[in-house]
């Protein structure tokens, strides 16, 4: 079996993939392509087979219908597979051949290790940016480790999503690898021989330094549009030039440009035309418009790769959506600043302002106007949430990948230990709830009043505690319903709480942090520190932002509640709660509401009555084993009914409902992933959790015995199954 080809050997495309084949074809035309060798897809398959990774891939993708997986679940799968690839052993005969080729061609020469999947870069599909590439690697150990990471990128979440979009079978995928000599360019970029949006023009983009800064969005490029007919420049859109990506002793880093470079484009007009003419030459060679990557060093142009421009128009290119799953550090820093300094303070201030509004004093028509105003406010805030908060969740992804690539841990989720205990608002809220519970236990008179359902007015200090809690956390909305928190409901819930758990930094967090940062060269530690801090902030805000958004949504719900009360006062008790539009229409026209939208009705289970699940499989999200009675939570009232040591079963945990999590012995959730709210709060409270269990809230009934295995991601249902599971321990 031949596993490696060089430029001299005319390698077949079906062995090395589209990117590698294009480079070989260009080199045969005597074009200026840096030296390289190619590892075949057969080598990838051999590695996968010898490490039983095919079985692991089948197991990961077979747990749940692929079309029903959220990005968090796919990221979990990608993370686990990446870890398995990273720790896998390359078979000795293949390892010898790769090592020998490195020794012969690049013994101490910096190289880039790039993907070349068999499905990559045809005229119909472009995987540009969806698979990994690594640059400035020196020595066998570094190169071989990153070859495995390139293989693993075939199973990244964004690559899996894109294959699904194109209808490609992921199990038919295979990966070739390009190991190519580095050229440390003075300027680099891409050139499109034909603009996908305007076929009469082509374009060139350029940055100072290395090309990766442009490709991953770290560095903003200068952009030129050219006339395809004569290669004349039609337009130049200058960038805000501040930095360039430069090679370090190990890897690359962004460096500030000097004042002269900040004022001058990375290419002059003649160089722009020369680069563009090269891309037109590529188009003639491959008989289709080309997207060419290039670099210039000492006035000489080097071609790094060339691929066909897909026939998909830019407007309908779904690849953009999947590329957004990967965010640069600079982008994440900007998002953090907006969320912490603008969005959260604005949402909190807005909720407080709306809460001071006396809705009962409004006429029906004014109330309708107020409801519509609040609907618009919520719409804007939800838009902000999707524009800023959701993308910022990828800060955890960035840190997790950097940590795992650096530390190569046995547990792919080890990095989460450095993110925990970061001061979540929900944890602080639950600690205050525990303090209220402590006050009830310490004063028997209050406990007795609670038992008799009497008010607490004779204990002003206690009522202050209750009122402060309700003001801070009780006016949120969950699933379009008001939390309905009263002094009595809050006190009954708090009475179930014990002394709050200590959530101070765990003893080994400081040591882990030190080991992680010291694994970097001194000049890289500041960036590593930034990545860690972004990961911690992303973990914290993944939960916090929903709580503040819930406060704004709660004020809309409060206005809708007022409308509903008025309708019942006029028309008597209604069978169901109308939706917002029906409430507004009924108040405006003074007519009895027609029910067409019911949010607070419980959906009937679609499961057959004969179906008796015994073992359900999901994803392990928080370690541990818990046994208890199930409690299905689907409405705010279910939260107040929750009892200590029950198993919380739900469709999807919202941060505004996690106030009962400390009472739970375990958590089971339909929605999956290590980054979802239920998983985050479960780890904070050291509660076993399994996520990604299809139809969990339908298959499991309140009161059933449940065993939650947070190590394996298994949920055992029923008395007999429970006994068997305990007997095995």
Is residue 707 within 8 Å of 722, Cβ to Cβ?
yes
H runs (alpha helix) in 182-300: 212-215, 259-263, 269-286
Measured distance CA(239)–CA(241) in Å, rounded? 6
| Spatial distance between the Cα atoms of 551 and 375, rounded to a whole number of angstroms | 13
In a domain, 406, yes or no: yes
- Return the bridge partners of 192, or none: 203, 291
Q: What is the CATH number of the domain that holds 305?
A: 3.30.470.20
- The total number of structural domains in the chain stands at 5
CB 715 within 8 A of CB 615: yes
Smallest CA-to-CA distance from 385 within 551, 535, 154 is with 551
Q: Are residues 168 and 232 located together in one domain of the fold?
A: no
Q: Given this model, what pLDDT does residue 313 score?
A: 46
Q: Bridge-partner residues for 225, per DSSP?
A: 203, 235
Written as six digits, the tokens of 256 are: 């500030």
723 domain-assigned: yes
Q: Is the dihedral of CA 325, 330, 331, 335 positive or negative?
A: positive
Q: Give the whole-angstrom CA distance, residue 391 versus residue 325.
A: 8
Nearest Cα neighbor of 703 from 632, 608, 651 is 632
How many angstroms separate the CA atoms of 716 and 705, rounded? 8
Take residue 259 and report the two structure tokens written for it: 């004042």
Q: Does any domain span residue 65?
A: yes
- Largest alpha-carbon pair distance within the chain? 92
Cβ atoms < 10 Å from Cβ of 190: 22
Looking at the structure, tell me whether residues 177 and 213 fall in a common domain: no
User: Are 433 and 568 in a shared domain?
Assistant: no
Residue 32 lies in a domain: yes
Distance from C-alpha of 304 to C-alpha of 667, rounded to nearest angstrom? 50
Determine the Cα–Cα distance for residues 21 and 268; give it in Å rounded to an integer. 31
Instruction: Give the DSSP letter of residue 228.
Output: T
| Residues whose CB is less than 8 angstroms from the CB of residue 649 and which lie 6 or more positions away in sequence, other chains included | 630, 631, 632, 633, 668, 669, 696, 697, 700, 702, 706
Place of tokens 């188009």: 283
Q: Are residues 515 and 487 in the same domain?
A: no
Q: Which two tokens stand for residue 426?
A: 């929900």
Q: pLDDT tens-digit profile of 254-303? A: 889 999 999 999 999 999 999 999 999 999 999 999 999 999 999 999 99
Predicted structure pTM score? 0.82
Q: How far apart are CA 498 and CA 644, in angstroms?
A: 10
The two structure tokens encoding residue 76 = 């979990």
Residues whose CB falls within 8 Å of the CB of residue 601, separated by 6 or more in sequence, listed in order? 576
Q: Verify that 257 and 346 share a domain, yes or no.
A: no
Q: Which two tokens stand for residue 12?
A: 């077949």
> What are the DSSP E strand ranges found in 542-694?
615-617, 619-622, 625-632, 647-650, 666-669, 689-691
- Are the CB atoms for 332 and 392 separated by under 8 Å? yes
- 456 lies in the same domain as 580: no
Instruction: Let me know whether 80 and 227 are in one domain.
Output: no
* C-alpha span between 203 and 642 (Å, rounded): 61
Task: Give the chain's count of helices (H) and strands (E).
Answer: 28, 23
Q: Do 234 and 370 lie in a common domain?
A: no
Which pLDDT value is given to residue 436? 94
- Write out the residue range of the structural domain in which residue 470 sits: 425-494
What pLDDT is attached to residue 59?
84
Averaged over successive runs of 10 residues, the pLDDT of the chain (729 residues) comes to: 90 90 92 95 95 90 75 85 93 96 95 84 51 90 95 87 68 88 94 89 94 82 95 94 87 88 95 96 93 94 88 45 61 94 96 93 95 96 93 91 92 90 86 92 93 92 93 82 87 83 62 94 89 95 90 93 92 87 91 58 40 78 93 91 94 85 93 83 89 88 93 84 50
What are the tens digits of pLDDT across the range 178-216?
A: 999 999 999 999 999 998 788 899 999 999 999 888 877
Q: Is residue 646 part of a domain?
A: yes
Asked which of 134, 154, 181 is the last residue of a domain, the reply is: 181
**End-to-end C-alpha distance for the chain, whole angstroms:** 47
Same-domain status, 575 and 655: no
Confidence at residue 310, expressed as pLDDT on a 0 to 100 scale:
66
CATH number for position 90: 3.30.1490.20
Residue 604 lies in a domain: no
CB count, 10 Å around CB of 606? 7
Whether residue 388 sits in one domain with residue 307:
no
With CA atoms as reference, report the closest residue to 80 among 554, 308, 350, 414.
414
| Cβ burial 317-344 (10 Å sphere, 16+ → b, else e) | eebeebbebbbbbebbeebbeebbeebb
Q: What is the CATH number of the domain that holds 651?
A: 3.50.30.10
Say if 600 falls within a structural domain: no
Helix (H) or strand (E) run with residue 438 in it: helix 425-442
**Beta 4-6 vs 625-632: how paired, if at all?**
unpaired
Q: Which residues does residue 111 pair with via DSSP β-bridges, in sequence order?
A: 137, 181
Contact 543, 425 (CB under 8 A): yes
Nearest to 621 by CA among 710, 517, 720: 710
Note the pLDDT of residue 278. 95
C-alpha–C-alpha distance, residues 7 and 23, integer Å: 8
List, for residues 561-572, the tens digit of each pLDDT value.
999 999 999 989
CA distance 592 to 570: 9
Task: Give a yes or no: residue 610 inside a domain.
Answer: no
- Looking at the structure, tell me whether residues 541 and 396 fall in a common domain: yes
Last residue of a domain, one of 153, 181, 209: 181
Q: Report the C-alpha dihedral over residues 208, 209, 211, 217, rounded to 10 degrees.
A: -60
Q: What are phi and psi of 156, to 5 degrees?
A: -70, 160
Burial of 85 from C-beta contacts in 10 A (0-12 / 13-18 / 19+): buried
Which of 181, 196, 216 terminates a domain? The answer is 181
Check whether residue 434 and residue 411 sit in a common domain: no
């Amino acid at each position: 079996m031949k596993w490696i080809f060089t430029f001299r050997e005319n390698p077949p495309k079906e062995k090395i993939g589209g990117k590698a084949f294009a480079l070989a074809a260009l080199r045969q035309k005597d074009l200026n392509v840096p030296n390289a060798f190619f590892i075949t897809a057969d080598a990838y398959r051999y590695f996968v087979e010898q490490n039983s990774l095919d079985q692991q891939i089948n197991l990961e993708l077979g747990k749940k219908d692929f079309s029903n997986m959220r990005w968090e679940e796919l990221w979990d799968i990608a993370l686990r597979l990446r870890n398995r690839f990273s720790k896998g052993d390359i078979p000795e005969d293949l390892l010898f051949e790769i090592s020998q080729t490195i020794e012969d061609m690049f013994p101490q020469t910096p190289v880039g290790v790039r993907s070349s999947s068999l499905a990559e870069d045809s005229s119909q599909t472009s995987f540009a940016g969806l698979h990994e590439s690594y640059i400035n690697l020196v020595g066998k150990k570094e190169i071989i480790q990153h070859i495995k990471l390139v293989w693993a990128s075939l199973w990244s979440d964004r690559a899996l999503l894109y294959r699904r979009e194109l209808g490609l079978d992921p199990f038919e995928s295979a990966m070739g690898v390009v190991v190519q000599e580095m050229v440390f360019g003075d300027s680099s970029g891409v050139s499109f021989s034909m603009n996908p949006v305007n076929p009469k023009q082509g374009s060139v983009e350029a940055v100072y330094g290395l090309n990766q800064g442009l490709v991953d969005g770290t560095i903003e490029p200068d952009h030129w549009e050219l006339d395809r007919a004569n290669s004349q420049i039609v337009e130049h859109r200058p960038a805000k030039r501040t930095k360039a990506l430069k090679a370090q002793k190990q890897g690359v880093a962004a460096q500030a440009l000097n004042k002269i470079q900040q004022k001058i484009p990375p290419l002059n007009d003649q160089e722009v035309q020369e680069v563009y003419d090269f891309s037109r030459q590529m188009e003639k060679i491959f008989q289709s418009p080309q997207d060419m990557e290039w670099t210039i060093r000492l006035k000489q142009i080097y071609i790094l790769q060339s691929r066909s421009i897909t026939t998909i128009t830019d407007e309908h290119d779904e690849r953009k959506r999947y590329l957004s799953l990967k965010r640069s550090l600079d982008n994440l820093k900007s998002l953090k600043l907006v969320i912490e300094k603008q969005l959260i303070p604005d949402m909190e201030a807005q909720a407080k302002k709306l809460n001071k509004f006396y809705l009962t004093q409004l006429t029906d028509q004014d109330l309708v106007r107020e409801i519509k105003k609040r609907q618009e406010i919520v719409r804007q805030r939800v838009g902000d949430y999707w524009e800023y908060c959701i993308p910022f969740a990828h800060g955890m992804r960035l840190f997790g990948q950097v940590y795992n690539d650096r530390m190569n841990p046995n547990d792919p989720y080890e990095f989460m230990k450095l993110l925990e205990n970061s001061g979540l608002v929900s944890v602080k809220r639950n600690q205050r709830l525990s303090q209220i519970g402590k006050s009830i236990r310490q004063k028997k008179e209050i406990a007795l009043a609670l038992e008799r359902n009497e008010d607490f007015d004779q204990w002003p200090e206690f009522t202050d505690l209750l009122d402060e809690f309700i003001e801070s956390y009780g006016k949120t909305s969950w699933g379009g319903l008001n939390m309905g928190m009263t002094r009595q409901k809050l006190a009954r819930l708090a009475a179930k709480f014990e002394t709050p758990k200590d959530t101070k930094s765990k003893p080994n967090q400081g040591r882990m942090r030190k080991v992680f940062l010291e694994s970097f060269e001194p000049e890289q530690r500041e960036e590593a520190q930034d990545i860690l801090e972004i990961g911690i902030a992303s973990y914290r805000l993944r939960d916090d932002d929903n709580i503040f958004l819930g406060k704004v949504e709660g004020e809309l719900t409060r206005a809708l509640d007022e409308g509903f009360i008025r309708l019942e006062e006029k028309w008597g008790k209604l069978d169901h709660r109308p939706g917002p539009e029906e409430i507004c229409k009924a108040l405006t026209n003074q007519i009895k509401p027609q029910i067409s939208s019911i949010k607070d009705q419980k959906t009937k289970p679609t499961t057959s009555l004969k179906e008796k699940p015994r073992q359900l499989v999901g994803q392990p999200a928080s370690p541990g084993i818990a046994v208890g009675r199930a409690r299905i939570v689907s409405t705010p009232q279910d939260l107040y009914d929750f009892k200590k040591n029950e198993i919380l079963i739900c469709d999807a945990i919202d941060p505004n409902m996690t106030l009962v999590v400390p009472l739970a012995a375990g958590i089971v959730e339909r929605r999956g992933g290590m980054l979802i709210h239920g998983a985050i709060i479960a780890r904070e409270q050291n509660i076993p959790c399994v996520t990604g269990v299809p139809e969990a809230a339908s298959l499991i009934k309140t009161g059933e015995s449940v065993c939650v295995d947070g190590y394996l991601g298994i949920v055992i249902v029923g008395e007999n199954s429970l006994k068997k599971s305990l007997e095995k321990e």
